[in-house]
Amino acid sequence: MKKRYDLFHNQNGFLFPYVLFVMILILIFVSSNVAIYKNTVMYSDFYKEQLKIDTLVQMSTAKFKEEIVSTLPSSEGDRLYTFPDGTVQIYYQMQQEKIIASFSAVTDENASFITTQTFSSP
């Protein structure tokens, strides 16, 4: 007669707590990985919006510098640049030998950023 392994054939329910413990560990592992994945997706979206904002500010800075060189702007004013990823509003003011410009960028998903840059006048 074959000898049965008593650990797996115990009629007192010895196996159920181990199975339950293993299932709880698997559930915790899966749910934590789902939470980590959700956070990663959220951070990726924030990073994508940050890249859009940086790109908008760089493109508007280049256009603004081109306009300053080609036409001498008034002592103060504003410019609005519209790009596929959003819009940038620039408020500028000329002071002595420099131009102080405040950039307000808004992406197409309503993320916003405000920065100030100083340029030497041409």
Ordered strands of the 86-95 beta sheet: 76-83, 86-95, 98-107, 112-120
Which residue has better confidence, 75 or 104? 104
Give residue-wise pLDDT tens across range 9-37: 556 666 777 888 999 999 999 999 999 99
Predicted TM-score of the model (pTM): 0.73
Q: Which residues are CB-neighbours of 61 under 8 A, at least 6 positions away?
A: 103, 117
